Amino acid sequence: MSQPLGNCPGCGGDEPFEQIHLGDCPDTGGECPEWACPACGAAVIMGTQSADVPARRPVRAA
């Protein structure tokens, strides 16, 4: 598996990211969208949403 380079908010530069859950993700049942920087541990959500997962909409608190 290749490690994508991304702008790490913790390191402040382009770092390789590693997928947090390899194989089936317990949250999505498919590929995990969570990636972490091995240098500092900062985590980010990357990826595309599956067509069978409903889109999340922002809500306003009452």
**At a CB cut-off of 8 Å and minimum separation 6, what does 37 contact?**
6, 8, 10, 11, 15, 16, 17, 18, 43, 44
Q: What is the structure's pLDDT at 39?
A: 92
Four-residue CA torsion sign, 47, 27, 43, 61:
positive
Q: Is the pTM of this model over 0.75?
A: no
State pLDDT tens for residues 3-56: 788 888 899 888 898 888 887 888 877 878 888 999 999 988 876 455 555 556
Number of H helices, E strands in the chain: 0, 5
**At a CB cut-off of 8 Å and minimum separation 6, what does 52 contact?**
none
